[in-house]
């Protein structure tokens, strides 16, 4: 790779060992992907911070980097951890202690301890065309597709390396020619809610893998629907970008999205949406003992929806209801009275953590109901849970009744 003088000095260790290690990592990645040079990034988002993924070895490495003077060079946010720092949820004490050590190490490096996969809900919003180095697949696909920022599907280590150097190798989705669509999906069904968008993403993700899908026929989606569509695409496939014709910034039209290239078309009807939902359902019995909403973390609107659905009702005594969000959104939800409504009903609004990266299985729960396609995809393997997948209304009904589906 061709490096600037400053980048060469980073590589030679002039700015300390952490920066040297970070630049070595970026050069190695750039060599693998054939990047010719580095480009400056405006921000970074570091993921993989849950104890489940970081491990105690990673924790000790992060502490050593912090002790050796590692400091971020660009605004850097942190992803979800496996602990709610505002309360005791009954998770194992040593798990919580180690998890806190990870978060503190990164905060010592100058990162914002946002502990959320939706930093864009609390003011960290990359602009159109801006190069960034964000990890967390749901955030990557959102920033590329909906905001038009430029980001590869970074892992935690490469996002950390970019945070310390302010650089990333220039390849993949940083380049115009790699941001065009590959396959058209014509939507011939009314998408009614987030669960429909998640089912669509899950179905399409399995078809396209790492390619870029283009959607035609999605009319006036909400921000949250686009967030959940992207998260589903990124989990069932490895999608890092999608276009919605007439909606997302790099697709004013279908032909715009494909940049004049030829394409094949797949038609999506109610049948494919149902198939997507069936694939996300793995529970064997109707009894539900755990309901989780908020993967990606809830917006203020999603928390309000839960509060409205549960107001004046009671969560079944055999069910744990968790609503995941960030500390920032939780603060607003508290001021607006939504937290009180949900907690009076027996639910808990968590901050910082989530089901997949946390450890709810330590509470002994077995069967989850969720409206998140990403959570439904990962929870069987990551948490050992059977899953019911459906609308937020169906999930809240399951939390109240203790079972999925109509009253028996
Ligand atoms: Fe966010 Fe955790 Fe889901 S990081 S996207 S809530 S798996």
Query: From the CB of 199, is ligand 1 less than 6 Å away?
Result: no
Atom number, ligand 1, closest to the C-alpha of residue 79 = 4
Of all residues in the chain, the percent with pLDDT exceeding 70 is 100
- Give CA–CA dist 63/249, Å, rounded: 40
Dig out the tokens for 130 from the structure: 């801006």
- pLDDT at residue 357, as a whole number: 87
- Give CA–CA dist 246/254, Å, rounded: 8
pLDDT category of residue 392 using cuts at 50, 70 and 90: very high
Sign of the C-alpha dihedral computed for residues 297, 301, 305 and 310 taken in this order: positive
Q: By alpha-carbon position, which residue is closest to atom 1 of ligand 1?
A: 296
Digit-coded pLDDT (tens) for 54-74: 999 999 999 999 999 999 999
- Give CA–CA dist 243/253, Å, rounded: 10
Cβ–Cβ under 8 Å, residues 399 and 310? yes
SS (H, E, C) the chain: CECCHHHHHHHCCCCCHHHHHHHHHHHHHHHHHCCCEEEECCCEEECCCCHHHHHHHHHHHHHHHHHCCCCCCCCEEECCCCCCCCCCCCCCHHHHHHHHHHHHHHHHCCCECCCCCCHHHHCCCCCCCCECEEECHHHHHHHHHHHCCECCCECHHHHHHHHHHCEEECCHHHCHHHCCCCEEEEECCCCCCHHHHHHHHHHHHHHHCCCCEEEECCCCCCHHHHHHHHHHHHHHCCCCCCEECCCCCCCCCHHHHHCCCCCEEEEECHHHHHHHHHHHCCCCCCECCEEEECCCCCCHHHHHHHHHHHCCCCCCCCCEEEEEECHHHHHHHHHCCHHHHHHHCCCEEEECCCCCCCCHHHHCCCEEEECCHHHHHHHHHHHCCEEEECCHHHHHHHHHHCECCCCC
325 C-alpha to ligand 1 centroid (Å):
10
Query: From the CB of 231, is ligand 1 less than 6 Å away?
Result: yes
Query: From the CB of 296, is ligand 1 less than 6 Å away?
Result: yes
- pLDDT at residue 408, as a whole number: 58
With the most atoms of ligand 1 within 8 angstroms of its CB, the residue from 77, 134, 297 to mutate is 297
Digit-coded pLDDT (tens) for 93-111: 998 999 999 999 999 999 9
Which range has the worst mean pLDDT, 127-131, 333-337, 351-355? 351-355
pLDDT category of residue 406 using cuts at 50, 70 and 90: confident
- pLDDT at residue 147, as a whole number: 98
Which domains are seen in the chain, by residue range?
5-176 (3.30.499.10), 180-279 (3.40.1060.10), 290-401 (3.30.499.10)
Closest CA to 360 of 107, 169, 118, 83: 83
- Give CA–CA dist 332/312, Å, rounded: 21
Of all residues in the chain, the percent with pLDDT exceeding 90 is 94
- pLDDT at residue 320, as a whole number: 97
Residue 89 pLDDT more than 90? no
| Mean pLDDT along residues 216-232 | 97
pLDDT, the chain, mean: 96
- pLDDT at residue 399, as a whole number: 98
- pLDDT at residue 28, as a whole number: 98
> Cβ of 172: how many Cβ atoms within 10 Å?
18
- Give CA–CA dist 15/66, Å, rounded: 14
Which residue shows structure tokens 């496939």?
237
45 C-alpha to ligand 1 centroid (Å):
14
36 C-alpha to ligand 1 centroid (Å):
33
What does the angle CA 248 – CA 249 – CA 251 come to, to the nearest 5 degrees? Answer: 70
Query: From the CB of 81, is ligand 1 less than 6 Å away?
Result: no
Atom number, ligand 1, closest to the C-alpha of residue 378 = 7
Closest CA to 211 of 172, 246, 250, 176: 172
Query: From the CB of 292, is ligand 1 less than 6 Å away?
Result: no
pTM: 0.96
Q: Is 163 exposed, middle or buried, given 0-12, 13-18 or 19+ CB atoms closer than 10 A?
A: buried
- pLDDT at residue 359, as a whole number: 83
Q: By alpha-carbon position, which residue is closest to atom 5 of ligand 1?
A: 296
Closest CA to 350 of 295, 389, 396, 390: 295
256 C-alpha to ligand 1 centroid (Å):
31
Query: From the CB of 45, is ligand 1 less than 6 Å away?
Result: no
Q: By alpha-carbon position, which residue is closest to atom 2 of ligand 1?
A: 354
Query: From the CB of 138, is ligand 1 less than 6 Å away?
Result: yes
Dig out the tokens for 28 from the structure: 């190695």
Digit-coded pLDDT (tens) for 290-304: 999 999 999 999 999
Query: From the CB of 374, is ligand 1 less than 6 Å away?
Result: yes
What does the angle CA 301 – CA 303 – CA 305 come to, to the nearest 5 degrees? Answer: 70
Q: By alpha-carbon position, which residue is closest to atom 3 of ligand 1?
A: 295
């Amino acid at each position: 790779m061709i490096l600037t003088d400053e980048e060469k000095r980073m590589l030679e260790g002039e700015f300390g060992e952490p920066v040297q290690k970070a630049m070595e990592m970026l050069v190695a990645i750039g060599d693998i992907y054939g990047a010719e040079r580095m480009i400056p990034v405006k921000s970074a988002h570091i993921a993989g911070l849950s104890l489940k993924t970081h491990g105690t070895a990673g924790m000790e490495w992060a502490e050593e980097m912090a002790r050796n003077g590692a400091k971020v060079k660009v605004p850097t946010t942190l992803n979800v951890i496996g602990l709610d720092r505002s309360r005791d949820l009954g998770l194992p004490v040593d798990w919580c202690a180690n998890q806190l050590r990870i978060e503190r190490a990164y905060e010592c490096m100058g990162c914002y301890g946002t502990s959320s996969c939706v930093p864009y809900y609390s003011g960290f919003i990359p602009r159109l065309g801006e190069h960034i180095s964000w990890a967390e697949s749901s955030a990557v696909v959102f920033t590329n597709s909906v905001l038009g920022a430029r980001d590869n599907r970074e892992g935690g280590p490469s996002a950390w390396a970019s945070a310390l150097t302010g650089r990333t190798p220039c390849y993949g989705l940083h380049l115009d020619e790699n941001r065009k669509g590959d396959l058209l999906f014509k939507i011939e069904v009314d998408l009614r809610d987030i669960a429909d968008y998640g089912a669509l993403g899950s179905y399409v993700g399995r078809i396209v893998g790492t390619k870029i899908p283009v959607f035609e026929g999605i009319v006036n989606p909400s921000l949250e629907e686009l967030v959940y569509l992207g998260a589903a695409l990124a989990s069932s496939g490895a999608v890092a970008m999608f276009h919605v014709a007439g909606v997302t910034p790099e697709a004013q039209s279908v032909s715009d999205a494909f940049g004049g290239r030829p394409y094949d078309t797949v038609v999506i009807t109610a049948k494919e949406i149902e198939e997507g939902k069936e694939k996300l359902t793995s529970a064997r019995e109707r009894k539900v003992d755990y309901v989780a909403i908020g993967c990606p973390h809830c917006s203020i609107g999603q928390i309000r929806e839960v509060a409205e659905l549960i107001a004046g009702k009671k969560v079944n005594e055999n069910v744990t209801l968790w609503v995941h969000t960030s500390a920032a959104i939780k603060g607003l939800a508290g001021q607006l009275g939504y937290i009180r409504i949900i907690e009076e009903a027996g639910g808990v609004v968590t901050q910082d953590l989530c089901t997949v990266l946390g450890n709810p299985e330590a509470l002994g729960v077995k069967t989850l109901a969720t409206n998140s396609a990403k959570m439904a995809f990962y929870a069987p393997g990551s948490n050992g849970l059977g899953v019911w997948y459906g609308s937020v209304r169906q999930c809240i009904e399951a939390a109240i009744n203790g079972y999925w589906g109509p009253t028996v």
